[in-house]
A and B are shown apart, each in its own frame.
Chain A
Amino acid sequence: MALEIIESCTNCWACMSLCPSKAIYEAKPHFLIDPNKCNECSGDFEDSQCASICPIEGAILNEDGVPLNPPGSLTCIPVHRLAA
């Protein structure tokens, strides 16, 4: 059970200091989550902290590879405009 940061990450650092398991680390070309440390914040917070502050839709996936913040969910930009 672990989350994953993918290439759309912009390296904004917002998630790193929030992680209660210290699972997030700076890496090139983008930040990464150590799957051995991440427990999706269970026991610490109701919501996964990284996914709750990440400003980039689709940058954080759950263990099934599904984005926790799907397109349009944060910016409210209609999905057909995002494609443009």
Chain B
Amino acid sequence: MPIPVITIAAADAPKSGCAAGSCGSTDKQMSHLPEHIRQKVFNHPCYSEEAHHYFARMHVAVAPACNIQCNYCNRKYDCANESRPGVVSELHHPLQAVKKVLAVAANIPQMTVLGIAGPGDPLANPSRTFETFRMLSEQAPDIKLCVSTNGLSLPENIEELTKYNIDHVTITINCVDPDVGAQIYPWIFWKNKRIKGREAAAILIEQQQKGLEMLVAKGILVKVNSVMIPGVNDKHLEEVSKIVKAKGAFLHNVMPLISEAEHGTYYGLTGQRGPTHEELQTLQDACAGDMNMMRHCRQCRADAVGMLGEDRGAEFTMDKIEAMDINYPEAMKMRAGVHAAINAELEAKRLAKENKVQVVSIQGLKKKKSARPVLMAVATKGSGLINEHFGHASEFLIYEASSEGVRFIGHRKTKPYCEGGDTCGDGESALDTTLRVLAGCEVVLCSKVGYEPWGPLQAAGIQPNGEHAMETIEDAILKVYEEMREAGKLDTKADEQQKVA
């Protein structure tokens, strides 16, 4: 009967459909998920945008062999200075890998997830992969196990996968059309033969889709990764997104192609470019109409350790681990305490947000005036706070503020402008990199920003802002957006034209 009440209630309830403009937002991303899935992903940094501010992950490099070739991969993978999938410094036997996982878990209690992702394909190394999972499921039951695969050998391994408490699988699906696939995969190894061209792509696609269906039928959560390759599969990925969603994948992660010539990949050496930030975001938004999108992926190495975006692998090399004496049952108690504290913090934040959302949406109704969206960059070390110095940031999180609210767009890597102390010698060029990386952003929020970068940032149209140190990212962005609105900086072109008239 009272229509206004119904309107407000409807606005607060989780939407069943997914508007392109709201899908990336931190809490909405989670609220779309059924409760049983939310329970599985709330502390998984790779599957939940919110979780990645609090929880850490690690990969162990036990799976060197691969059964396919991708044009963005080079199998000479031993490089300490590269940060991308398929690259590792040290290959581990399963026993070493387990020792490493226990050492990391005891030292980084926020580490909740262990993934096997390469450097080849985990399921092309089934005995090494499953031996590692088996030992970990026995010795460290508080660690989630997950695996990332190209999907070729997925159907034949699903029975085995379900034995070790693996409830997350990522499949890299770059296409559903063999003609597109033939431009991405030069060969596969299948039934004791190397197969090339379109035929190879057709087999791979069939196995991937079959594997996806079988996993969903088993109740295992599936995330789909896709590499966006401009001119090859960029148009095609919208269709991929629709199909994998229809089959039951719960999250789609469209990642940009990495193709530096010095990596020696086919794409790198033949001049295939990766997408721009804008192209990637446009595709992610287009897919978001149908699918829950992931935008916080850092495309980490097959031996990465730590929070997403950081790599503490160097602290846990095999020689250092051999010297550590880990009592895991004791460590597990300490870990449980840390996890409980984080969960309590998350729950408190969620409740606070719920209350605030109601207030904001009511106020928002009053003031709803056309205001253009604004991109803002944030320097953070985690916990969802603005807590990193501008000059120390090696990456910025990008958010879009609009009258709809705040949504997470993605991250952009840079070189830290200043490493601190007296190592600022080549700070000049690093600042140029950061200015280029932040193109399109109008504000950069950080805990502190020095005098020196202030001028160049402003000249580039990016307002430095250190006034919201230690505040929650989304709250600070909303405040700054509101200030900009009040200062008349957000008038749309139409408004300006009216004013002039």
Q: Interface on A for B, CB 8 Å cutoff?
A: 10-14, 17-18, 45-47, 49, 52-53, 55-56, 74-78, 81-82, 84
A82 to chain B, nearest CB (A): 8
B273 to chain A, nearest CB (A): 16
Minimum CB distance partner of A44 in chain B:
B192
Minimum CB distance partner of A59 in chain B:
B75
Quick check: B270 and A77 within 8 Å, CB to CB?
A: yes
Contact with A along B459-497 (1 / 0, CB 8 A): 000000000000000000000000000000000000000
Interface pairs (16), CB distance under 8 Å: A10-B76, A10-B77, A11-B64, A12-B66, A12-B120, A13-B64, A13-B65, A14-B120, A45-B192, A47-B193, A53-B67, A56-B76, A74-B69, A74-B186, A77-B270, A81-B269
Q: Interface on B for A, CB 8 Å cutoff?
A: 64-67, 69, 71, 75-78, 91, 120, 124-125, 127-128, 186-187, 189, 192-194, 266, 269-270
Given contacts A11-B64, A49-B192, A74-B187, 14 further A-B contacts (CB under 8 A): A12-B75, A12-B120, A13-B65, A14-B120, A17-B127, A46-B193, A52-B194, A53-B194, A75-B266, A76-B71, A76-B186, A77-B270, A81-B269, A84-B269
Pick from A55, A77, A84: contact of B266, CB below 8 A. Answer: A77
| With A11-B91, A74-B187 as contacts: A47 and B120 at CB distance below 8 Å | no
Quick check: A47 and B69 within 8 Å, CB to CB?
A: no
Q: How far is the CA of A18 from the CA of B193 in the complex (A)?
A: 11
Pick from A11, A52, A75: contact of B192, CB below 8 A. Answer: A52
Quick check: B269 and A14 within 8 Å, CB to CB?
A: no
Q: How far is the CA of A56 from the CA of B125 in the complex (A)?
A: 18
Quick check: B65 and A12 within 8 Å, CB to CB?
A: yes
Q: How far is the CA of A21 from the CA of B74 in the complex (A)?
A: 29
Q: How far is the CA of A74 from the CA of B192 in the complex (A)?
A: 16
Number of A-B pairs whose CB atoms are under 8 Å?
63
A24 to chain B, nearest CB (A): 12
Quick check: B69 and A14 within 8 Å, CB to CB?
A: no
Q: For A46, what are the chain B residues with a Cβ–Cβ distance below 8 Å?
A: 192-193
Q: How far is the CA of A4 from the CA of B127 in the complex (A)?
A: 25
Q: For A47, what are the chain B residues with a Cβ–Cβ distance below 8 Å?
A: 192-194
| With A49-B192, A77-B269 as contacts: A55 and B69 at CB distance below 8 Å | yes
Q: How far is the CA of A45 from the CA of B191 in the complex (A)?
A: 10
Pick from B78, B124, B186: contact of A14, CB below 8 A. Answer: B124
Q: How far is the CA of A82 from the CA of B76 in the complex (A)?
A: 13
A26 to chain B, nearest CB (A): 11
Quick check: B66 and A14 within 8 Å, CB to CB?
A: yes
Q: For B192, what are the chain A residues with a Cβ–Cβ distance below 8 Å?
A: 18, 45-47, 49, 52
Q: How far is the CA of A11 from the CA of B61 in the complex (A)?
A: 13
Q: How far is the CA of A56 from the CA of B194 in the complex (A)?
A: 13
Quick check: A53 and B186 within 8 Å, CB to CB?
A: no
Q: For B65, what are the chain A residues with a Cβ–Cβ distance below 8 Å?
A: 12-14, 53
Quick check: B75 and A10 within 8 Å, CB to CB?
A: yes
| With A47-B193, A52-B194 as contacts: A13 and B270 at CB distance below 8 Å | no
A28 to chain B, nearest CB (A): 13
B200 to chain A, nearest CB (A): 12
Minimum CB distance partner of B267 in chain A:
A77
Residue of A14, A45, A82 ringed by the most chain B CB atoms within 10 A: A14
